[in-house]
Amino acid sequence: MTRKQFIANGNYPVVGGGFKYCNYYNQMNTPEDTITISRSGSCGSICYYERPFYFTNSAFKLTKPKQEKINYFYLFTFLKQHENKIKKLGRGAGVEHLKQ
């Protein structure tokens, strides 16, 4: 996705690697109730999104399974409690990145 494709009044927020929306777009590619872990920029930051959004490749995403075999809010809380440990896994000379 390029900046030219962003729409100021789009239907769905665009989620990159930070805490704030990058912009808006008229299509979504990720459902509501998704956890993201930033992999560049503010790498290791954990976020939870209650609404559908357009996802870029600047983060990892954990989409809520259709059959709840885990408590998804517990998973988010667990990850948030370990956010500093996850951030320390970032590597890079300039901008730190997390790798799979």
Question: How many Cα neighbours within 13 Å face the side chain of 87?
Answer: 11
37, part of any domain: yes
Tell me if 93 is assigned to some domain: no
Share of the chain above pLDDT 70, in %: 89
User: Is 100 within the bounds of a domain?
Assistant: no
Amino acid at residue number 17: G
- 89 pLDDT more than 90: no
In a domain, 16, yes or no: yes
| Domain of residue 77, CATH code | 3.90.220.20
Q: Is 95 inside any structural domain?
A: no
What's the pLDDT score for residue 91?
Answer: 82
Residue 55 in domain: yes
Instruction: Provide the phi-psi class of 26: left if phi over 0, else alpha when psi is between -120 and 50, else beta.
Output: alpha
Residues 24-46 pLDDT 10s = 899 999 999 899 998 877 888 99
Q: How confident is the model at residue 1 (pLDDT cuts 50, 70, 90)?
A: low
Average pLDDT over residues 92-99: 73
Per-residue pLDDT, 72: 86
Per the structure, how many domains does the chain have?
A: 1
Residues in contact with 7: Cβ distance below 8 Å, sequence separation at least 6, in sequence order: 23, 24, 25, 26
